[in-house]
Amino acid sequence: MPSVNPQILKWARETAGMSPEAAASKLGINDTRKLSGAVRVNALEEGQTEPTEAILRKMSKVYRRPLLAFYLPAPPRADESSHDFRTLPQRSSRDEPVIAALLRDVKTRQSLVRAMLEEEDHPKLDFVGAMAGSRSTSDVLGSIVETTGISLQEFRSLKTPELAFSYLRQKLEAIGVFVVLLGNLGTHHTNIDVSAFRGIALSDPLAPFIIINDQDAKPAWSFTLLHEASHIWLGESGISAFASELESERFCNEVASAFLLPNEELVELSVPPLSSTAAISAYISRFASPRNLSMTMVAYRLYSSGKLSFDQWTTLADHFRAEWRRQKESEKEARKAKETEGGPSYYMVRRHRLGKALLDAAHRGITEGTLSATKAGKILGVAPRSVYPLLNSANGRAA
């Protein structure tokens, strides 16, 4: 086995967002009488000492890098295949190393799915990049509606925002888009706040992926899904927040909004003058809830149409975010109570997050022998031993 390049060790730590002190703690490199753990980490990174295989395996897990990466001749160049559609305040989050690891993970999953589809001679998807260069909201939305068959009437007829999202998700998955709910790296300790990212689009003519941050409020999932779908139709890959100064982000917001809240309805909305934040919030809630809409999205549309000031919009956005966090804590407590009574199983929750399209692809690959349990596990984000229990439902097939 070739020697490890010390520069790789430093690069892996820094891109994981860790100081030498934090890395030493995570890796179990303790202080000695003469040297602190941080100094011992620096010694490894400067080539003064050689890492053991056990330490390398720990580094692979802690830094979220494949073991073979430590044997590269030099640190790899930054991946520039995806854009960052967020503005600087959103990119300065402490979550950035986790987001980078999540993006690497999703791209690995996509590449494995793509390779399987290529082996199956799967036809290319004409809608991916079909509207590249377009700056007509109605044209892009019209293409999405025509290709997927989504209906605003059906969307609004569903009883809950989660069911409404599932309706849109099923329509997109039916035409070949993989839609995954993913807001951490498999543990709640790595939960990514929605202020850091709301969605990811990975445009590809065979295996387009959309990632929704499931740490967000459920009524917001549908908006994010349509926003990221717009990027797929434009042939763009990248990571998004909610509001951005970038033209492409504003355009995709407009496409999603035009479906969920058509202009003719927006015209009818009128915020009473000199209203308090609580009064405006209640007014928006009465409008948004029966339509399965995100209150943040409605407030943003009111601001962008000149019906709310910038200060009102930002105050409302903060207010809705705080309310959602309180609601999330309440739901967390409710889930704990349900767990003692027997709530949904681990596999049921995991299957919901992965989506039918990804489960079916993995099931097909396993059945036809084009995927090993190890590769299927990477696609599904589980250990190889969990692949078969995850794919098996009551009738023995992914659902």
**DSSP per-residue string spanning 12-57:** HHHHTT--HHHHHHHHT----SS--HHHHHHHHHTTSSPPPHHHHH
Give 341's contacts (C-beta < 8 A, 6+ positions apart): none
For residue 144, give the amino acid letter.
I
Show me where the domains of the chain are located.
6-71, 83-341, 346-391
142: helix, strand or coil: helix
201 has which bridge partners? 210, 238
pLDDT at position 63: 87
The Cα–Cα gap between 352 and 111 comes to: 22
**DSSP per-residue string spanning 91-129:** HTSTTHHHHHHHHHHHHHHHHHHHHHHHHTTPPP-TTTT
**Ramachandran area for residue 30 (φ above 0: left; ψ -120 to 50: alpha; else beta):** beta
Please count the CA atoms within 13 angstroms of the CA of 392 that sit on its side-chain side: 6
Look-up: residue for tokens 């109570």? 337
pLDDT at position 398: 45
Question: Based on the number of CB atoms within 10 Å of its own CB, is 318 exposed (0-12), middle (13-18) or buried (19 or more)?
Answer: exposed
Taking only the tens of pLDDT, the chain with its 399 residues reads: 467 888 889 988 988 878 899 899 999 999 888 889 999 999 999 989 989 989 999 998 888 888 878 888 888 776 666 677 776 455 545 678 888 889 989 999 999 999 999 999 999 999 999 999 999 999 999 999 999 999 999 999 999 999 999 999 999 999 999 999 999 888 787 888 888 899 999 999 999 999 999 999 999 999 999 999 999 999 999 998 876 678 889 999 999 999 999 999 998 888 877 789 999 999 999 999 999 999 999 999 999 889 999 999 999 999 998 888 888 888 777 666 665 555 667 889 899 999 999 999 999 999 999 899 999 999 999 999 999 999 985 344 444
pLDDT at position 81: 62
- Indicate the fold that domain 6-71 takes in CATH: 434 Repressor (Amino-terminal Domain) (1.10.260)
The Cα–Cα gap between 341 and 359 comes to: 28
Between helices 295-304 and 310-341, what is the axis angle to 10°? 170
